[in-house]
Amino acid sequence: MSAQTYVSDLFSLDGRVAVVTGGSSGIGRAITGALARAGASVVVVARREAELKSTVEELTADGCRAAWVGADVGTGEGVRAAADGAVAAFGEPDILVNCAGVNLRPPMGDLGEDVWDTTMAVNLKAPYLLGQRFGPGMAERGYGRIIHVSSQQAHRAFVNSGAYGVSKGGLESLARSQAEAWSPHGVTVNTLVPGFVLTPLNARLQADPEKVESLAARTLVGRNGLAEDFAGAAVFLAGRSSAYVTGQSVFVDGGFSVH
C-alpha cells in the first residue's frame, strides 16, 4: 500500500453525508469545503442565499457533491426546516457540524433578555435540537460524528463575553452529554475551540487594530487564526480515524489558551 493510499483511506469521507450549519461563511465555510473535498456529500445551512449559492457553486465546480438549505436556526421552525431540507438533499447525515452562531456582546450591565434569548437560541438550542433530530439515527446505524464550534469564551472571559461566553460554555457541556449518550453506539461528539479568528463574525472587534494585535500576541505562533486553520481538524473529527476521540474540546488556537 502506498503512503498516499494509506492516508486517503485513513481520512477519506467517501460515502458520508454531512450537514454544516453556518457553512457559507468564515470557519463554517472552510469546514464545509474540507469535508466536501474529503469526499462527503455536504449540505450547507445558513440564512443568506447569495453566500449559500456561492459556496455550493464553488464546490460543485470542483467536482464535489453539495447542496444548500436556507434557514434561520434561531427558531424551532427554522431548525426543523433545516433538518428536513438537509435530509431531502442526500439522506440522513453521518456528520453534523454546528457552526452557526451569533456574536452579540453588549456590556453585561446592558445585556437584555432579547440578546440573551437570541444568543441561546442560535448558539446552544439549535445544536441541541439538531442533535436530538440526528443523533439517535446515527447511533442506530452505528456511526456518527457531531462537531460543535465553540470559543475561548467558554473557558475565559474577555472582550465582553456576556451571553456569548455562557452559550459556548453550555455548548461544550452539551457535547459531553451527547458523547455520554451516543458514543457507546459509534457516535463521537467533540468541540473545536477557536482562538481569535479573522472572520466576518468578529468584524466588530477587527475594527480595533490595537486589540487585534494584542490578541495575536497572546498566541504562541504570533498570529490570529484564519478560517482554513480548521480544515484538517474537522476532517479528522469527521472520519473513522477519530473513533476513539469523544467528549473532547480540541483547541485550534495557535497556543492562545496556554500562553
CA–CA dist 37, 52 (Å, integer): 17
CA-wise closest residue to 144 among 59, 40, 71, 34:
40
85, 71 contact by CB (below 8 A): yes
Q: Cell 485513513 appears where?
A: 10
Three-state secondary structure call for residue 208: coil
Strands 66-70 and 95-98: unpaired
180, 235 contact by CB (below 8 A): no
CA–CA dist 234, 116 (Å, integer): 29
45, 82 contact by CB (below 8 A): yes
Q: What is the DSSP letter of 92?
A: S
Catalytic-role residue among 6, 128, 164, 244:
164
171, 232 contact by CB (below 8 A): no
118, 74 contact by CB (below 8 A): yes
**Would you call 6 a catalytic residue per the annotation?**
no
Judging by beta carbons within 10 Å of its beta carbon (0-12, 13-18, 19+), is residue 53 exposed, middle or buried? middle
| N-to-C CA span, the chain | 41
Residues identified as active-site: 164
